A and B are shown apart, each in its own frame.
Chain A
Amino acid sequence: MSVLHDLALGFQIALTWEAILICLGGVILGTFVGVLPGIGALAAISLCLPLTYYMLPVHGLILLSGIFYGAQYGSSTSSILLNIPGTPAAAATCLDGNPMARKGRAGQALFIVTLSSYFGGMVGIILLVAFAAPLARFALSFGAPEYFAVMLLGLVAASTASPGSPVKGLAMMVLGLIFGMVGTDVTSGAYRFTLGYLELTDGINLVAMAMGLFGIGEVLSNLAAPPAPQPPKKSFRLREMLPTRTEARQSVMPAIRGSLLGSWIGALPGTGPAIAAFIAYATEKRISRTPEKFGTGAVEGIAAPEAANNASVQAAFIPTLCIGIPGDAVMAFMLGAMIIHGIVPGPNLISEQPDMFWGLVASFWVGNLILVLLTLPMIGVWVKILNIPRQVLYPLIIFLICVGVFSVNSNVFDVFVAVAFGILGFVMTLFRYPVAPILLGYILGPLVEENFRRTLFISNGDFGAFLSSPVSVICLGLVALALIVPVVLAIRRRRLSPAPR
């Protein structure tokens, strides 16, 4: 029962008025930077760090983490309403969220993602409370072969995730893999495809690419197309935006699966919420009995990725707080913030600073609850964005994207990259090529390649290393199945009904 005792200690800290107000401020700010395309949590967190100098360390961390997970809630709003993800992690939510909005069901979509996000966040927190130490050890046991197998499985599973022609989807994924190769090779330090630009030696910036492909591309496509009929203006009362009973039922299992997948991926250092969301989406489409519904506004296609990315941001705290190893850039900054506040992160953080750890974890619960209470009444306000005339809305979006992309590295080069990808995204959409697989190939490709080469380097070229652990055997087995089964089925179908010559 010591967990309950510890949690009680945590809630004593998180339920003081001061902590609640700070948490509220953090999640509101997080929601806003999440909604605004391009401006991500990291920029907001680093801007707010100086504010926390005047707070208790635990309050400071409550504020900064509130911004981080609050941004996940906000980022799906612009995915659904504008087909522009607020952060790259919400790109998967565009695939079915925006079609729902186009059908006039934006309110329902926002309602479902808010509840799925809450559910995912809760699952992540519960795992953090109950299984933090074993999960952290499990994540550490992942070596290069396991990472390779899991990422390859993700790539293969997601290769057909986008709507429309599978061949076009695969082609776009390969394009993403090529973009992922730009930059410095981890193993040798050599440059690949940097075209002489210093700015490309660290690879193409993820935010610039995502905001270009989805954001600027979407704006250009909409400008080129004749104005879509505006959804009928009606009063946006909460009651009218409740999902139907069927929709609610359909989103339960995807939210559960998404949360579990997301927590697991989030606990692995070096992954992140974008990967979690895409893999959850792909999984739903794979196991769905009606995969053709995906891409046209399937509720499963928004519930799963949103549960996954929120679970993943909560689970990302597991390696950071339990073993002192940050999973991504935001977590690395959180570690820095802890040091500035005199808290030394590392494997002994929980035993040395129990009030800090449990106070923070309890605040996650408070923050997620605030986010739901805050977001549901806001849905009506957000949906009104659709009524803004596009000559006002689009310049505003482009402006925000440019500011957001610039804020990542304070570098104008990234803004040009975003514009270039915007044009690419526009052209691709024009010819009905899906853009999401480009992003996916770009994110997963380098992880697959890096871990493939590292495995072989470590094993001295012995391919048997890929089958050295149960996790990699299972994942590679699934990859083989995913590749072979459709071929076998196709051959059998052809034998049964020989094509007329």
Chain B
Amino acid sequence: MKSWKNALAVVLAVLPVTGIAADFPSKPVTLVVPYPPGGNVDTSARIIAPKMEAILGQPIVVENRAGAGGMIAAEYVKNSDADGYTLFMAANGPLLFAPMTMNRPDAYDWKTDFAPVGSVSITPMALTVRKDVGITDIDELLATAGEKNLLMASPGAGTTNHLAAEKLKADSGGDFRIVHYKGNAPAIASLIGGETAFSFDQMSVILPYIKDGAVVPLAVTSSERVPALPDVPTLKETGKFDFAAVTFTGLLAPAGTPQEAIDAISAALTETLNGDDVKKRFEDLGSLASPMTPAEFGAFLTEIDDTWRPIVAEVNANK
């Protein structure tokens, strides 16, 4: 159906587009967020928007098109004009796995339908246990979770948090049950309130409770230690696991967007993310402002995709 549009986009991309480079952007740029206002992805978009606006000299509009695990936003951007004025503020699920988990494998493929512009932020997760459970290391947790009926709180089936737990289970041979909630807030409430015992949570969400002493961190899921928690080992350091699980946010344009436009946005994004003020905001959020070139971002996405696709497929088959 949209093939003529794609064809047109390809033609446009191949044509010499001398005009665009000189005056891009000449009108407002829209960042399409696949979630409702609030939350990590939306907040990240709203952190970078004012700074990019100042650099590019055009308004940056944050537009929320929530729904269907992010597919509605992804399809909207995919079908937008490939001129660099409509960008996808993507994250793991909406970009990489939604077509599979939502049973629409043909809806889009990030490798062919989108052009990476740059990553915005990377948020590691932490594996934490409520303090009064009395567990202080990951081996003890995995060894006793099954018999003590310790439950893990998940913010939803198919989230990165859930996938990390499934991977942990598969790699350790551990046995624990996962309770799903509708989003981070009720999942945290269940953890703090005592209904569940442990969870994987984005650093942004869990850090205040770690500092508060309500939960004990056992490991972080990034490949390197997190500055905010220098004493907490990574999953790899615990010796049993060889995977990292992070939530990223990043910008992508529809495939066929002129390189000049991508370069202009990428440059503005990099400058924004290197600003001290923006860095501080992401730190407050428990994330890391992570500028990457379009090529680096593409490689980063491929790596995440390769690691998690088999697990997503397995979880999806069992639902």
Contact = CB atoms under 8 A, between A and B. Distances in A.
Q: Do A and B bind each other?
A: yes
Given A143-B194, A339-B281, A188 B319 contact: yes
Nearest to A347: B212
B284 A45 contact: no
Interface residues of B, number: 54
Contacts of A269: 185-186, 189
Nearest to A141: B193
Contact of B212 (A270, A325, A346): A346
Contacts of A186: 156-157, 180-182
17 contacts: A142-B193, A143-B193, A186-B182, A189-B180, A189-B319, A198-B68, A198-B71, A198-B72, A269-B185, A325-B185, A336-B43, A339-B47, A347-B209, A409-B65, A409-B67, A411-B72, A450-B182
A345 B184 CA distance: 14
Best-buried of B38, B68, B104 by chain A (most CB within 10 Å): B38
A42 B63 CA distance: 13
Given A42-B37, A143-B190, A326-B38, A340 B46 contact: yes
Contacts of B101: 189
Given A190-B319, A269-B186, A458-B179, A340 B281 contact: yes
Contacts of B42: 333, 336
Interface string A179-200: 0000010111111000000110
Contacts of B212: 346-348
Interface stretch (A46-54, A273-281, A369-377, A470-478): A46-54
B43 A339 contact: yes
B67 A201 contact: yes
Nearest to B280: A342
Interface in B62-104: 62-69, 71-72, 101-104
B68 A199 contact: yes
B304 interface: no
A339 B319 contact: no
B149 A460 contact: yes
Chain A interface residue count: which class? 35 or more
A186 B47 CA distance: 30
A253 interface: no
B208 interface: yes
B284 A144 contact: no
Interface string B16-40: 0000000000000000000011110
B50 interface: yes
Interface of A: 42, 45-46, 49-50, 53, 139-144, 184, 186-191, 198-199, 201-202, 269-270, 319, 323-327, 329, 331-336, 339-340, 342, 344-348, 409-411, 450, 454, 457-458, 460
Given A140-B192, A190-B319, A270-B186, A410 B63 contact: yes
B69 A410 contact: no
B319 A329 contact: no
Contacts of A53: 50
Best-buried of B189, B195, B211 by chain A (most CB within 10 Å): B189
Contacts of B38: 326, 329, 331-336
B157 A189 contact: yes
B68 A188 contact: no
B122 interface: no
A110 B69 CA distance: 42
A270 B179 CA distance: 17
Contacts of A329: 36-38
Given A325-B185, A325-B188, A457-B179, A344 B50 contact: no
Interface string B129-160: 00000000000000000000101000011100
A340 B42 CA distance: 11
B168 interface: no
Contact of A332 (B65, B102, B185): B185
A84 B284 CA distance: 42
Contacts of B192: 140, 323, 325
